[in-house]
Amino acid sequence: MRYTTFLIRRFLQVIPVLFGLSVLIFVLARVVPGNPARMALGPRASDEAVAQLEAEMRLDEPIWYQYLAYLEGITRGELGHSITTGRDVAADIVIFFPATLELVILAMLIALVLGIPLGIISALNKDKWEDNLSRGIAFIGVSMPVFWAAILLQLFFAFNLGLFPSTGRYGDIEYTRITGMLLLDSILTLNVDAFRNVLWHLWLPAFSLSLAPLADITRMTRSSFIEEYNKEYVDGLRSHSIPEKLLVSKYVFKRSSTSTLTIAGLDFGFLIGGAFLVEIVFSYPGMARYGVNAILNNDINAVVGVTLFIGLVYLLANFFVDVMYGYLDPRVRKQGDAQ
Amino acid sequence: MTKETIIDVSDLSVHFSSYEGRHRVLNGVDLTIGDGETVALVGETGCGKSVTAKTIMGTLRRPPAEVVEGTVSFRGQNLLDDPSLHTEIQSNHMSMIFQDPMSHLSPVFTIGEMMTDVLHYHREEGLSWRRLLTGAFRRKKPVNNEAYREQCIEMLERLQIPDPAGVMNRYPDELSGGMRQRVLIAMALLNEPDFLVADEPTTALDVTVQEQILELLESRIVEEDLSMLYITHNLGVARKLADRIYVMYAGTIVETGETQEVFDDPLHPYSRGLIESIPKLTGFGSSGIPGGIPDYTQPPRGCRFYPRCPAYIEGTCDSEPPRGFEVDGREVHCYLYDDEPDLETAIEIAEDEVDYLDYGATQGDTSFATGSEESS
């Protein structure tokens, strides 16, 4: 299969992009005003102490040299020392990121599971009340800022109705940490109580985070479905007596899901950004507080590390989208052959 | 007609609603096709040929289309009243092939997958979602069913497709235009139809391939004992294939008759213009018909052709649409023949009255006099 070569090549493309991103963010972090060493030590520290910390952080060296040293660190799995937590940034990411990833994945699942059917129902009932309803939902989802939606949902469901906890990630439960993604961990350890508890906590943040991508996916699915549904091959297959339900669920659906997938891939980036806001609203212990603190304290290693890592996740998500393209459209696979 | 009628379209009027208003596209179309007969429906692009075909097939989208009047019946059963009967009869007895085989095949499924789906599902009326879902998760999908595969491969073989088993695993864009059209015909024949609608199936192909496809189609029609409605703007093809011919203009049938008769002595001014505008190898003297298809939201009163007609009679042609006048067994919708003369007189009338070269000169339109193929 030549398609695998295509995929490998496509995967390797992640590396130069990541490299470019790392140069950009590395330089940016160092040229913004404010001395990281001074920020770390506070205004009362002596100039000697600042100079010493600068030397420790290699800030007195030329920037390209710093960068090479940074790359060398990466090969050892180190992303530099964080001045706020005192740990290596890589270790911090391992601690904080799984929570965010869990939130983002659940939000994406909600968006897909609700958005695709909503879009299809909308398309099949174009301009009828079902369509207007789903377009209304999509409109609200797109126009409402994520933190605002989060606050409203929190007020209503957590404070007024008391159906969900208002903050936190889990209650009074025991769990074993394996991946750091608590839902996954509780499944792996067959811990039903923990699973339910974590899901109960996760539900509101994930739902508020999913609103905007849900709207995007609904709208995109609707429009691409309508477009595909009017294609000639649908008429052709219909005239060969393929039942309408099969036409919709197989032939039209497969073609239209390419666009859905594209928008889902793009939304993945939004989700990570939105997760920062949602995490703050729900005091959810993920990357957000860590990232925000890093920026406020000019913790350059943490900023670079977090950004790079998010970039990596985003690239991988879109690599996955590309793999799915190949699955959905044979012509994409052949393009791989031609290259 | 001695043969039994298989398709009978009578007084069919179809309108389309859009933002511009109501498009009165089909206006009282009468058309019959006998058992085992091949009938050609000719006319320029946009005159309602495909709408007629879709109405017969029941694949017309309603809305925007609306059948205002008329009936379509298959062996005496009226189809338009009962959509489920229409679907049933269509799936068991009718098939259609299309102009552009690329856009009429899904690019993301293999030929085999589509063909086996047609075989597997074409008789399933009330297919439930539940059955579809369980079907999707079953390992034994139609495409893996040996019996279906065999049947498809056999059908592809009958259409002289080389390496049919290999073609089953290919995607439409991996085949040439001619092969795709063969595949499309094979798919259309899978339900063993009695009646086939061919909507300009050779237009998108180059001339040599066109010839092969036509011969193939002809042999299939004979062997499978099919009746066919062949829609085309290519008069040469119509002449080659059809027993009878219907000439259509702007949603109305203007003339019908045995193919050879119509070609030898076209009576309606439009048919004359159409046949005269075939480019000939000798000389450049062929003419065209000035003007174009009318605006369907406001079609001309009376005969729809009169604004372009060289034999236009003021006060008569623009009052009422002409009914069909019989001339020697043929039907011509034109007031030139309103006293139903015999053939010789009719030919004389036609030759005297219908002269596009002169008419074009008076209209000051130069494009047609130089022999453009067909105004469309």
DSSP letters, B3-24, are: SPEEEEEEEEEEEEEETTEEEE
Name which of A233, A243, A328 is nearest B124 (Cβ-Cβ).
A243
- Tens of pLDDT, residues A304-336: 888 888 888 888 888 888 888 888 887 777 765
Question: Which tokens is A239 given?
Answer: 């005239």
Q: Identify residues of B whose CB sits under 8 angstroms from chain A CBs.
A: 57, 59, 87, 90-91, 95-96, 98, 100, 103-109, 114, 117-118, 121-125, 127-129, 132, 136, 171, 173, 184, 187-188, 190-191
Cβ contacts of A250 on chain B, cutoff 8 Å: 117, 136
- Tens of pLDDT, residues B280-324: 655 555 566 766 777 777 777 777 777 777 666 666 677 777 776
In three-state secondary structure terms, B117 is: helix
Question: Where are chain A's structural domains?
Answer: 1-84+328-339, 95-296
Residues 6+ apart with CB under 8 A from B333: B252, B253, B254, B255, B268, B303, B321, B322, B323, B324, B325
User: Residue A335's pLDDT is what?
Assistant: 64
- Sheet of B330-332, strands arranged across: B94-97, B195-199, B227-232, B38-42, B244-249, B252-258, B330-332, B325-327
The yes-or-no verdict on residue B144 having pLDDT over 60 is yes
A187 touches A102 (CB < 8 A): no
CATH code for the domain defined by B1-108+187-264: 3.40.50.300
CATH code for the domain defined by A95-296: 1.10.3720.10
Question: Where are chain B's structural domains?
Answer: 1-108+187-264, 110-170, 268-363
Judged by CB atoms closer than 8 Å, whether chains meet at A235 and B59 is answered as yes
User: How close, in Å, is residue B118 to chain A by CA atoms?
Assistant: 6
Name which of B96, B104, B121 is nearest A233 (Cβ-Cβ).
B104
Whole-complex ipTM:
0.75
User: Residue B368's pLDDT is what?
Assistant: 41
User: How close, in Å, is residue B242 to chain A by CA atoms?
Assistant: 23
Residues 6+ apart with CB under 8 A from A188: A178, A179
Residue of B nearest to A236 (CA): B104
Name which of B103, B173, B190 is nearest A233 (Cβ-Cβ).
B103
Query: Which H helix or E strand runs over A148?
Result: helix A146-153
- Alpha carbons A56 and A40: distance in angstroms, whole number: 13
Judged by CB atoms closer than 8 Å, whether chains meet at B106 and A246 is answered as no
- Tens of pLDDT, residues A2-52: 677 778 888 888 889 888 988 898 888 888 777 777 777 777 778 888 888
Residue A45 or residue B374, greater confidence = A45
Classify strands B77-78 and B65-74 as parallel, antiparallel or unpaired: antiparallel
